A and B are shown apart, each in its own frame.
Chain A
């Protein structure tokens, strides 16, 4: 069975500094991987997705993620944090052989300090 581990439950950064959110996955098959963001009292919004094309994926709002098969990682980065980036972020894995159900990581809550 596939699983997703987000290595940090909370991340605190200063506005204008880089953001790194770490995600490791476990799967016997080639996965599709996603990052979603959830702002308070809102639904989830897709930031970016990896589906076996380019390993460096660019998403919305300046975010990008790199798929590293050898490390089974899919870390999310942004060069310069903005106050509006304060939210909870979810790394998600999807395996075709497992019925395409989405499996979510535990989430990383990002705090951006002025």
Chain B
């Protein structure tokens, strides 16, 4: 069974631009979570989607948004990029929502660099 895939793997953007990252979960998984990983702040939870509905949201500004499609694929969008948004963005999928004892499987991440 294919793992979690994230596209693109690497991305370079300029301050002020917007970016969309994509995550395809493992087949049959209905929950997708997004995390930001930076050297300074470590790993931080962004949001979780289950059955096209946002279930949880971390402490990030409204510039960060996401959505989930009927096939469980998810996208996250960051508008008006700032230098501090440079990070590895990780996506994780699970059969069900977090907290229901479903293991999360992580993708390899998208490395975003903002210049």
Q: With A43-B4, A101-B56 in contact, do A94 and B106 touch (Cβ < 8 Å)?
A: no
Q: Quick one: which of A42, A51, A96 contacts B108, CB cutoff 8 A? A: A42
Q: Is A41 a contact partner of B56 (Cβ separation < 8 A)?
A: no
B11 sits at the interface (CB 8 A): no
Residues of chain A lying within 8 A (CB to CB) of residue B106: 36, 43-45
CB of A83, distance to nearest CB on chain B (Å): 22
Q: Is A43 a contact partner of B109 (Cβ separation < 8 A)?
A: yes
B62 sits at the interface (CB 8 A): no
B98 sits at the interface (CB 8 A): yes
Residues of chain A lying within 8 A (CB to CB) of residue B99: 94, 96, 99-100
Q: Is A106 a contact partner of B107 (Cβ separation < 8 A)?
A: no
Q: With A94-B98, A94-B99, A100-B97 in contact, do A43 and B90 touch (Cβ < 8 Å)?
A: yes
CB of B54, distance to nearest CB on chain A (Å): 12
Residues of chain B lying within 8 A (CB to CB) of residue A101: 45, 48, 56, 58, 98
Q: Which residue of B lies closest to A107 (CB)?
A: B42
- Chain A stretch 56-114: residues in CB contact (< 8 A) with chain B: 90, 94, 96, 99-107
Q: With A43-B4, A43-B90, A94-B98 in contact, do A100 and B107 touch (Cβ < 8 Å)?
A: no
Q: Is B98 a contact partner of A100 (Cβ separation < 8 A)?
A: yes
Residues of chain A lying within 8 A (CB to CB) of residue B92: 43-44
- Chain A stretch 37-59: residues in CB contact (< 8 A) with chain B: 41-46, 49, 51
Where the two chains meet, the residues of A that have a C-beta atom closer than 8 Å to any C-beta of B are: 36, 41-46, 49, 51, 90, 94, 96, 99-107
Where the two chains meet, the residues of B that have a C-beta atom closer than 8 Å to any C-beta of A are: 4, 33, 35, 42-45, 48, 56, 58, 90, 92, 97-99, 101, 103-109
